[in-house]
Every structure is written in structure tokens, then in C-alpha cells.
Chain A
Amino acid sequence: MELEAEQKRRMLEDGYVVVPGVVPRPLIEEALREINHRLGLGRTQTMDAYADSRDYWSDDTDAPAIMDLLQKSPLWELAEAFVGTGKLQKPASGQIALRFPSVNNSHGGPASHIDGFYSPNANKTISRFTMLVGVLLSDLPDKYMGNFTAYPGTHRQIADFIKAKGTAPLRAGLAGKIDLPEGVQVTGKAGDVILCHYQLAHDKEQNLSHLIRYAAYWRLWHVDAEQQQPQGLTDIWMEWPPIAALQKAGPVKNAPKTKKGK
């Protein structure tokens, strides 16, 4: 799959790109059937330890209906286009992430993070992967519907911070260390996908709608990511040849902006 120039540009500058209509409706429906069936079963043993019982439900699964969203749609090829064909490890599972309507402001406040740092075991090794990909499984036409919230450009800010001060100060969170830009609440339709650089700060926004927000995520590892863990935190495009080439070519004057957050 050939990436559009603007998709590469947005990944370089913003650290993420939203691509509409990647996953076909039949795959979305099979995934929803699986997820909604699980909801009927109640809480499961595979639920993410970070998931609270207020308005967030996260479940790691290798169920075919979930894995097919990535593996039987053009999403896999799209992800590979950013790092090279055959350069991504096949994930063993995906994350079902539901965000329920909140009442009485049960959000708990902002919690912008990058995934590998967000751990109660702050002394453990940082688990850096390459790319976070997500599929919207329900329509999100507006903000405050439990949207994935991206902080554009923070992948570069965080790399600069680590270069200057190391990773230790970030273990307690990004607040106060990184000058966060305005968050972009990603809107879109079921079937749209978001691809993010590992190091992009992100969050989940409160859901003030009446509907459950459905999404599925995968954390994708470059085949060499284990061997080059720390280098990838500062040389952030080492596993992304098309973006590295674009960076090398230098900035484009008056580059057209895509509709951020779609």
C-alpha cells in the first residue's frame, strides 16, 4: 500500500493520522457482536488491571472477531506501509476498550500518557512498542463521547525531553514536564482508524453522551523493537523508514493541514 504524502506528513509532525473507512462494516458488526456478547457475560478475567469499574472497560483478547479487524482488513497493510512490509510482529491479542456514559463527572481528571510509562511498577523497564493502532467501532460525530484524545507533536517533545534529561522524570507522568498542546478529540465513524507513534501523548475523554463508545486497539512492535528499546525513544523514526526519509528531506513550506482528528 502506498501512503499518501499528507499521511506521512501528519505522522511526522503530529505523531498520528486518522484514516476514514478502512475497516469494512461486516467486520465491525462481527466485532460488536463479540463485544456485546461479552458485556452480557459481565466482567472477565482478562480485563485490564487499569480498567476501573466506573466508566471504562478494557479487555485483552485473541478472539477472531477482534483480531480480524486488524488482520482481515486493509489496516494491517496500512500499518506496514509506515514501517515496511514484513517489519511488524503479528500481535497475539487486541484490546477491547469501551467507554461508558459518565454521570456526575466521574472522569477522574485528565491522564495524558504514553503507554509504556503508565505503570504502577515505575522502576521496571519501559515497554516501548512502535505504533498504536485503533479502530472506531461506533460513530463518534462529536467531542465528549469518550473520544481518544491526541496531543499533536508530543512524540517529538518527549524525544527532546528524554534526550536532555532521560526517562526517569517522566515515570511519574507527563504533567509539569512536557508543555502539552491542546488535545484533539478524535471524531469519526465506525470503521475509521487511527495510527499513532508510540511516543504520542494521549488520553481518553469523558463520555457525556448516552451511548457506549466502542473501540479496539493494538500495540504493534517492529521486528527489531526489543533489540533497540532505548534508542527508539530518542531516534523516534528509526523503525519508520518512510517518515525518516521525509524528516531528512526537511520541512515542507505551507504544508496543507489535514482535518485534525477528522
Chain B
Amino acid sequence: MKAALTPAQKKAFARDGFVVVPGLVPRPLIDAALRDINHRLGKGEHDGKDTYADSVDYLSEYVRSSPVMDLMKASPLRELAASLLGHNKVEPCTQAQVVLRFPAKTDESPATVSVHIDGMYDAARKDSITRYSFCAGVFLSDVPRPGMGNLLAFPGTHRQIAKVFKEKGLGALKKGIAKSIPLPEPVQVTGKAGDVVLFHFQTAHDKARNDSPDIRYVAYFRFWHVDAWHDRSSAYLKRALTDIWLEWPGMRGVHGT
């Protein structure tokens, strides 16, 4: 089976900047990854813990273990990435970000955290943006409704942000996205274990609080087009941030790209 988005999925992706692909990762791969992640949770040792992660209800760590990497390598996800960015145009992905969202106590945890695009963390520090092409989040647990620690996506912001960059330059978001563009109503992304949410690098997102009894498990893979990986010049950066489908031959001809 060739992995590719359907025309309807491409249309939604172009419009919203994110799309959920159901059932992409087979159950045995999910179970093997969960076993690895839950074992590590028991050990309490998280060598690759993300410095942005607080210790209250969020655990984020960068993982290269086989069971976690197989979610991408042994599933159709890698081929799906190639279908979008071009064959031989996807820089090999060497790590995953495993993100657990624990049940919150409502008086301790905000309903949302901070609207962002990933590279913006660097924008404040280094006056530049670290960008990749897109992120794929593999659901490792069922997230059937809002309020379960869902990914919070702001539809269409990939286009809005490109427009702001075009008009005001790459420093346009330094005060934060919420103060720089009119944000649409966010969508709490739902799905089942094995589903994959794809979101364009430039789609504003956040994480919702987990009011459920269960831990929410997701593994994120960030894909770079080879040009983005090798050309770190400000000229290429500006070009890619304003021409948001530059690296996407698989999206050519889709309305809105």
C-alpha cells in the first residue's frame, strides 16, 4: 500500500495547516512503543528530558529507542512524508519527542499553556527561528474528546503567519503569536491510538489541559526537507517562511497552495 494523503486530506491540510490521518500506525508498533515508554516511566530516569517541560503535568523527552523510532521507520509514516516532501528529499529523522500529558488538578494547571510555533522559542533567545517542514504526532493512546491533554491547533494560522512575515519581516512575532495575529478558535485534535496528526511547521498550536483520568501519550516526529536541513541561510529561511509550500511537491495543485 502506498502511503499518501487523499485529495480531501490534502485540501484540509492546505486550508487548516493540520490534518489527522486515521489508523496509519499498526497496533503492534503502538504496543511496543508504549511498553518502552511505560518501562522508562517506572524507572523514573529521563535522560532526554526536554528543558521546556515542567514537572507538574507534562513530560517530554527526546528518544531514539528502536520501539519508538519504529513508529516512523516500520510504519507507512516515513513513506507518507516522502509523498509530501518528495522522494529522497526527506532528511532522515533520528529522534522522536515522546510527550506525556498527565491528569491535572484543575486549580494547579492552566487550561492552555502558550500558543506557539516550535522555532519561536529560539526567536526570543537568538533572534532567529529554527524551522523544519512539518511535524507528525503519532497518537499512542485514544483521545476521543476535548479536555484530554489534546494538541490544540489554530486552523489557518500557517497562512496568517506567512502573511505577517511577508509584510513585517521575520521579527514580526517577537511579542508572541497571540499579540501578533488575530487567532481563530482553536481545535482540540482528537483521535485513536495509531492515528497521526500532521501539522505544518507554521501552524500555531498549544496543548490543552488533561482533565481525564488517563495519561495522554503521543510521539512527535519532526521532518525536514533536505534543503531546509542543509541551507540554514537567512535568505532560505525567509523564503520558506513566506512561501509555505515551497518544500512540498506532494501538495502542488491543491487549492490554497
Contact = CB atoms under 8 A, between A and B. Distances in A.
Contacts of A100: 38-39, 41-43
Interface residues of B, number: 26
Interface residues of A, number: 27
A253 interface: no
B75 interface: no
Contacts of B41: 39, 100, 212
B215 A36 contact: yes
Interface string B8-50: 0000000000000000000000011011101101111100000
B118 interface: no
A101 B213 contact: no
A210 interface: yes
A202 B34 CA distance: 28
A29 B36 CA distance: 24
Task: Count chain A CB atoms within 10 A of each CB in B32, B39, B44, B104 and give the residue with the most.
Answer: B39
A39 B215 CA distance: 9
Interface stretch (A50-58, A127-135, A154-162): A50-58
Given A32-B214, A36-B213, A101 B56 contact: no
A212 B38 contact: yes
Contacts of B100: 40
A102 B39 contact: yes
Contacts of B70: none
B51 to A, nearest CB: 16
B79 interface: no
Contacts of B57: 37, 40
Interface in A14-34: 28-33
A41 interface: yes
B55 interface: yes
B202 to A, nearest CB: 30
B212 interface: yes
Contact of A209 (B35, B44, B45, B56): B35
A66 to B, nearest CB: 13
Contact of B55 (A40, A56, A209, A211): A40
A244 to B, nearest CB: 40
A212 B212 CA distance: 17
Interface string A95-113: 0001011110000000000
Contacts of B139: none
Contacts of A102: 39
Contact of B56 (A32, A41, A212): A41
A101 B212 CA distance: 22
A42 interface: yes
A28 B215 CA distance: 14
A55 B102 CA distance: 19
Contacts of A39: 41, 102, 215
Interface in B55-87: 55-59
Contacts of B45: 53
A24 to B, nearest CB: 13
A86 to B, nearest CB: 33
Nearest to A37: B103
Contacts of A210: 31-32, 34-35, 38
A103 B39 contact: yes
Contact of B213 (A30, A42, A55, A98): A30
A53 B46 CA distance: 13
Contacts of A54: 42-43
Contacts of B56: 40-41
B105 interface: yes
Interface in B174-218: 212-215
B39 A55 contact: yes
Task: Count chain A CB atoms within 10 A of each CB in B35, B42, B57, B59 and give the residue with the most.
Answer: B42
5 contacts: A37-B57, A39-B215, A55-B42, A100-B38, A212-B41
Interface of A: 28-33, 36-37, 39-43, 53-57, 98, 100-103, 209-212
Given A36-B214, A210-B35, 16 more contacts: A28-B213, A30-B213, A32-B213, A33-B212, A37-B57, A40-B100, A53-B44, A53-B45, A54-B42, A55-B39, A100-B38, A101-B34, A101-B38, A103-B36, A209-B35, A211-B34
3 nearest A-B residue pairs (beta carbon): A100-B42, A40-B102, A210-B35
